Chain A
Amino acid sequence: MIRIAPFGRVLAVAAAASLALTACGGGEETASPASSAPAAPASSAPAAAAGDGVLTVGALLPQTGDLAFLGPPEFAGVKLAVKEINEAGGVLGKPVVEIDTDSGDTKTDIASQSVDKLLQQNTDVVIGAASSGVSKTVIDKITNAGVVHFSPANTSPEFTTYADKGLYFRTAPSDVLQGRVLGDLIVQDGSDTVAILNRQDSYGNGLADEVEKSVSGGGGEIVVKTAYDPAAADFSADVAKIKEANPKAIALIAFNETTKIIPELKKQGLGPDKVKIYFVDGNLADYSKDFPKGTLEGIKGTLPGAKAPDDFRQKLLSVDPALTDWSYAPESYDATVLSALAAEAAKSDAGTAVASKLIDVSKGGEKCTDFAACLALLKEGKDIDYDGLSGPVEFSDAGDPSEATIGIYQYDAENKYANITYLSGKVAG
């Protein structure tokens, strides 16, 4: 028995379909958008290439997901920068507009939708994302729209050589540097057999490779290198594999899985009292609420970025009084200020124009350290060299900082980390 839809039903379907479309407020356009194709860019359409006179900064930073703990200081850094820029008169005579969106993590499609929203709102510079994995998923989308993709926290070495149309920049140094520092730290502490347990993504694998090079180059031996699945239900098998190799030191390159891995390490007799454990920027966080006292005591870790000066911390607190963590706040601040300066130098807020001046304002010229002073110099027609809070910020041609600072930290009995020292160096020859 075949049921052939009667004509009336077909009509009803069509009516329902068009009704649904209309209900959504749109009307008829674009089931076949080709017909409207030649239409000149509509007046209200995002001005990707031309610029609309207002510098719009879109923050694409983690509010949810694996790196949510990095979100608040990064947002605060951007907000503080925008506030100071606007107090100094804004860019091109108009206040800078900031739009906050969530970058989520790679398990979700949030970042892609956030970018759509940002592009819709005429964003000229996207500040984000925190995770290298997330940035990789949106970099094509952002740069193809002629918008600057400026990350304060991506450290994956892959971005140095990515085909980004000259629109990708970052204020965080590539992990080549962090890996080198961490490896040397391990060697200095005298561990000749080292295990690396890393998160399986571009961040974890990239950093693990650099640590391995550095440790073996300095005479140590990597006895086991395991990448774990961040979504795994438990880590006992991964830890058992490390246990079998019996290392003297473990480099734990992880995000928030750390709260599951540390108890497992302790259980299998690999706690910080038995072997030397090292954290990295992905998991160097305040664990005072997660673990009983003394759990992490003695663990060391590395984190790119200079010390956030006390007055900068006070200013950040005025933006977000709930802040307890400062990771990547200076980098976010610098990224925003640099974008504003580049827009001012280019006399345009368009993404491509900003990108063309970003390297210029970061080096080679009269030094200045805050937006107001730099703006004054620019208005006098001088070439400037912005030295930021995260370091001297001298961009290489690939848009990476060529000099950077890495902090070395150690956990105390309260499971909070405190700085031991800062080291500066050139990222690459």
Chain B
Amino acid sequence: MDWTLIFSRAVEAGIGTEAVIYALAAIGLNIHFGYTGLLNFGQAGFLAVGAYGVATTVATLGLPFWLGIVIGLAAAVLFALLLGIPTLRLRADYLAIVTIAAAEIVRLVVRSVALQGTFGGTDGLEAFSDDFYGMNIYSPGQYGIGPIAFDHRTLWVLTVGWILVAAACAVVYLVMKSPWGRVLKAIREDEDAVRSLGKNVFSYKMQALVFGGVIGSLAGFLFALSRAATQPDLFSTELTFFAYTVLILGGAARVFGPVLGAVIFWCLLILVKTGMEEAVNHQVITFITVNQVGSINYMLVGLGLVLLLIYRPQGILGDKREIALDAR
């Protein structure tokens, strides 16, 4: 078995594009769920809106890249508003169902035949990332230490990605210390109490939804740019559930929770996956086939989510008193 491969793949995943994307997605989710107590099961929709915003603007309409980013952000804000108006007055479980439905609507619409000329159908769009890679500060080649290496393109994505993660963490930290952030936490703890103090709860919730959604759309940009392609089915509900696992693993309502969660989640996931694949390929494990490794991986994620919530709902960094798990 190639242990170097197994460990280097795991580390690469832990600091690589997957971790960055899920860290950003989970930071957005943290604002919704961790701080405000909004049970948003439609985070995948925000990523899709961001990814398709930039991809459609550049690939379909032929407009500049930066305009694509602006359009992607605007689309995320619009999506949050549309999502928020019917749902934010409702109870947590209604909100969950409606957000998951809304994310699915986005996915189904961008993959539809009718709009194939715009969104590319089930294959999605490509050829929109040249401008982004044109800004690359690294010259072509491999960069790394020992077996851990990234090519210049990945490294550029990672540089931008981790800067965005750091910036998002900083903003979240500052915002949550501000009076505005304290209102959000108060809404999570007792919505009626906040209302009785004369605060417009609906408006605060909406702002939180927009804020977290915009950060989610940043993850969408990176998802699309890192693969130089975007496909509708990558933004299925599983993405949202993975992001929840990441968030709860790291610790909800903590600034660094999502980041730590993403790094550990991907590190472990790829460690197990590559390890099992290698074990099967070298006949160390003989009772399963390589094809079944993928499903075992997903089973472990599901099991991990269950066990975490039962035994450590606050995750690694969290504070049990700060998790809105009892809301109804």
- B177 and A44: CB pair below 8 A? no
- B11 and A26: CB pair below 8 A? yes
Q: Which of B143, B144, B162, B291 contacts A63 (CB 8 A)?
A: B291
Q: Which residues of B contact A141 (CB under 8 A)?
A: 227-228
Residue of A nearest to B173 (CB): A5
Query: Which of A104-112, A257-265, A404-412, A414-422 is near enough to bind chain B?
Result: A104-112
Instruction: Decide if B153 is an interface residue (CB 8 Å cutoff).
Output: yes
- A136 and B229: CB pair below 8 A? yes
Closest CB in chain B relative to A367 CB, distance in Å: 38
Closest CB in chain A relative to B12 CB, distance in Å: 7
- A205 and B116: CB pair below 8 A? yes
- B142 and A46: CB pair below 8 A? yes
How far is B162's CA from A352's CA once the two chains are assembled, in angstroms? 32
Given contacts A20-B264, A33-B155, A110-B294, whether A229 and B111 have CB atoms under 8 Å apart is: yes
Bitwise, A110-152 to B at CB < 8 A (1) or not (0) is 1011001101110000000000110011111100110000000
Instruction: Decide if B159 is an interface residue (CB 8 Å cutoff).
Output: yes
Instruction: Decide if B217 is an interface residue (CB 8 Å cutoff).
Output: no
How far is B271's CA from A166's CA once the two chains are assembled, in angstroms? 35
- A44 and B126: CB pair below 8 A? no
B29-58 with Cβ < 8 A to chain A: none
How far is B228's CA from A63's CA once the two chains are assembled, in angstroms? 24
A225-249 with Cβ < 8 A to chain B: 227, 229-231
Instruction: Decide if A2 is an interface residue (CB 8 Å cutoff).
Output: yes
Residue of A nearest to B230 (CB): A137
Residue of A33, A63, A121, A141 most packed against chain B (CB within 10 A): A33
Instruction: Decide if A163 is an interface residue (CB 8 Å cutoff).
Output: yes
Bitwise, B235-266 to A at CB < 8 A (1) or not (0) is 01000000000000000000010011001100
Instruction: Decide if B146 is an interface residue (CB 8 Å cutoff).
Output: yes
- B291 and A64: CB pair below 8 A? yes
Closest CB in chain A relative to B312 CB, distance in Å: 14
Instruction: Decide if B15 is an interface residue (CB 8 Å cutoff).
Output: yes
Instruction: Decide if A373 is an interface residue (CB 8 Å cutoff).
Output: no
- A116 and B317: CB pair below 8 A? no
Instruction: Decide if B308 is an interface residue (CB 8 Å cutoff).
Output: no
Residue of A nearest to B3 (CB): A25
Instruction: Decide if B129 is an interface residue (CB 8 Å cutoff).
Output: yes
Given contacts A2-B177, A44-B147, A64-B291, whether A120 and B260 have CB atoms under 8 Å apart is: no
Given contacts A25-B7, A102-B290, whether A133 and B123 have CB atoms under 8 Å apart is: yes
Given contacts A17-B256, A200-B122, whether A45 and B142 have CB atoms under 8 Å apart is: yes
B131-173 with Cβ < 8 A to chain A: 137-138, 140-151, 153, 155, 158-159, 162
Known: A25-B10, A26-B14. 20 other contacts (CB 8 A): A13-B260, A24-B7, A24-B10, A26-B11, A26-B15, A26-B148, A29-B15, A33-B158, A37-B143, A42-B144, A46-B149, A68-B291, A113-B270, A116-B16, A136-B229, A138-B229, A145-B151, A201-B121, A201-B123, A229-B112
**CB pairs A–B below 8 angstroms (13 shown):** A20-B267, A24-B264, A25-B7, A26-B11, A29-B145, A30-B150, A33-B158, A45-B144, A48-B142, A106-B122, A120-B9, A140-B228, A202-B121
